Structure 1
Amino acid sequence: MDELMRGRVYGADHDDPDPGPRPGRAYRELVAGPLDGLLLDVTGWPEDRLREPVALPTEIGAYGPGGHAQYAPRPGDPRRWDWRGDTP
């Protein structure tokens, strides 16, 4: 888990002097795609929600501003969520 604690959190402001994870929060590592290496804060998410794919807004995906990057939990390692593609 220490390895995950070094990354940047998805949604952190670009000028945030400390965009990393916070103690006491739960994160998932985003793997591949436009958000590769970012951490998604899932603190407070119910268990069933943690098993479902998510579509995260991003300006750097295939569809530019207004687009979404889709990620889903990796089978066998749910702490890592793999990129499934971009959508408008």
Structure 2
Amino acid sequence: MDEQIMRGRVYGADHDDPDPGPRPGRAYAELVGGPLDGLLLDVTGRSARQLRDGAALRTEIGRYGPGGHAAYGPRAGDPKRWDWQGDTP
């Protein structure tokens, strides 16, 4: 995995976590654009279909505020980076 990606903060990590970075033995995708830009998403154990379909990730900082979601999907030709596709309620 890319050295720069290895130093990122993992989506869902507690804000007080002294080590919010990736864990050994896990697979990650970097979130690109949108409200979660730069975070890492743990994709360990996801099926091929789930990896292809992407994910709607809960976030309070998107267009819809608390309870909203940011949609991300794998970038064509670079599945280690997931691009923002918009916000949903």
* TM-score normalised by the chain length of structure 2: 0.96
Give structure 2 stretches of 5+ with no counterpart: none
Give 1:53 deviation, angstroms.
Answer: 2.4
Q: Give the whole-Å Cα distance in 2 for the aligned partners of 1:65 and 1:48.
A: 28
Q: Aligned with 2:57: secondary structure? A: strand
Q: Which residue of 2 aligns with 1:43?
A: 44
Amino acid at match of 1:73: P
Q: Give the whole-Å Cα distance in 1 for the aligned partners of 2:75 and 2:61.
A: 22
Aligned residues: 88
Q: Aligned with 1:48: secondary structure? A: helix
Give structure 1 stretches of 5+ with no counterpart: none
Amino acid at match of 1:41: D
> What percent of counterpart residues are identical?
76
Matches within 5 A, 1:3-42: 3-42=4-43
Q: Which has the higher helix share?
A: 2
Pairwise CA RMSD of aligned residues? 0.6
Q: Which residue of 2 aligns with 1:67?
A: 68
Q: Give the whole-Å Cα distance in 1 for the aligned partners of 2:63 and 2:3.
A: 31
Q: Does 1:86 align with 2:84?
A: no
Runs ≥4 residues deviating over 6 A = none
